[in-house]
Amino acid sequence: MALGILLTLAVGTAAQTPPGPAGEADATLAPAGSTLPTVEPDVLAPPVSSVPAPVESALETGPELPAGFHVPTFEAIAQQMVADQRVPGLAMAIVHNGKVLSARGYGITDVSDAEPVDAHTVFRLASLSKGFAGTMAGLLVADGAMRWDSKLVDYMPDFQLSRPGAAERITVADLLSHRVGLSRNAYDRDLERYVSYRELTQKLATAPLQCEPGTCYAYQNVAFSLVGDIMFAATGDFYAQQVQRRLLKPLGMNDASLGLEGIESSARWAKPHVRGRGGWVSVMPKPTYYEVGPAAGVNASASDMAQWLIAQTGHRPDVIPKPLLATLHSPLVETPYQTRTAAWRRARLDSAGYGLGWRVYEYEGHRVAYHAGAVQGYRGMIAVVPELELGIALMWNGESTIPSSMLPTILDRAFDMPSELTAWLSIDFDPSRMYAEAVEEGHAPGSSSGRASAAPR
């Protein structure tokens, strides 16, 4: 299919909520294995209403992106990803300096009942939800309701692990950085067999330990979600309600929700898809990983993710203070295997670690806070580049790895890497054809049309 035709089929709108004021970030990041920096409660702003913060002054500027960072090109790549149903639907958000460069949808919500994906189509975020849990915990630390080094047993005195004294060592930061000491993905298979979360937390008492808590990394979903129980014990308020009140509402994430009921009650949502003999088959969302809300419970649209990225790049300090962001995006434990799990990671990553609900990569010398997510029928990726105040989010509703090649493609352009645009792409893409179409439409290469890229209004 000609790329010009693909561009005309693109469906999307720009997010409308204005960003808040900018501020200076603490760029100092703790090395792996270090203790967390202190965030004093009296320097952090209290929660605010859903009224957006004022738009930044036109005189304020931030870091610039290189000329090769061409948003219409990325949008064209996204559109080509859904051509011939390589994936049924995809949503992408890109923000920079507190402004939305793109927040759009591509493809369809359901192969059996096709509607176009737009900026307000909701996707399941899966493990991208972990960044919300870390941020919510940070707000409660700022409130003084708990500390990063608060002990799990102070809030859940009956909790046990198989080794005497081990449960007493687990801290809030250990839960959020996967340093509980359990084997990788402990009891995830049981979770997928519909064993309840509460039963699985009790089974942790008999699970073998790989190390003492706080001393090694192993990715968790069940144990990670114990942070939600701590938040309830500390505040008397359910985790989902706290996220809605403290994050989603004040940030203007108006399509976002938590849980199975949340996504199914959305005005427009993308159905999950699996591979069948004849191609993609839509299925109903499985409730299993919604059982572990802090680990995998959030649903959101491209418009929502644009606002989340604006906040995570420091432009909503009225909701998420900048000192907290520096803490969340700091590595606490090394995860060197992450530098070997994909071609772009092997080529680009100097090191990898895990912070508080975020992976932390050194991407050719640049710090990137990152996470990926996957549950049945959904995939997603998010990246925040603090030094550039750049944020990128991708979500799609099919079990395919093809769209994941977009993230390193965009990051390479952001860092002005000398590689070819198509170095990581899993599709055939000829940018010269897009430029030819742009010139015919009256837009010179390197410029942005009002359709393809829009700042908030």
Q: Specify the pLDDT at position 19.
A: 34
Q: Specify the pLDDT at position 420.
A: 80
Low-confidence ranges of the chain (pLDDT < 70): 1-60, 430-457
DSSP 182: B
Would you say 221 and 230 are in contact if contact means Cβ atoms under 8 Å apart? no
Task: DSSP for 301-369, please give it.
Answer: -HHHHHHHHHHHTTS-TTTS-HHHHHHHTS--EE-GGGGGSSHHHHHHEEEEEE-SSSEEEEETTEEEE
Question: From the centroid of its chain, how far is CA 114?
Answer: 26
pLDDT tens digits along 180-205: 999 999 999 999 999 999 999 999 99
Q: Specify the pLDDT at position 432.
A: 57
Q: Specify the pLDDT at position 426.
A: 80
Q: Specify the pLDDT at position 280.
A: 96
Where residue 215 falls (left for φ over 0; alpha for ψ -120 to 50; beta otherwise) is alpha
Q: Residue with structure tokens 């149903």?
A: 85
Would you say 352 and 360 are in contact if contact means Cβ atoms under 8 Å apart? yes
Task: DSSP for 333-349, please give it.
Answer: EE-GGGGGSSHHHHHHE
CA–CA distance, 139 with 195 (Å, rounded to integer): 31
Q: Specify the pLDDT at position 446.
A: 33
pLDDT tens digits along 85-138: 899 999 999 999 999 999 999 999 999 999 999 999 999 999 999 999 999 999
Q: Specify the pLDDT at position 418.
A: 83
SS3 at position 231: helix
Q: Specify the pLDDT at position 43.
A: 29
Q: Specify the pLDDT at position 33.
A: 41
Find, among 390, 359, 441, the residue nearest to 176 by Cα: 359
Q: Specify the pLDDT at position 20.
A: 35
Q: Specify the pLDDT at position 215.
A: 95
Domains, the chain, with CATH or none: 3-129+238-440 (3.40.710.10), 142-233 (no CATH)
Q: Specify the pLDDT at position 431.
A: 63
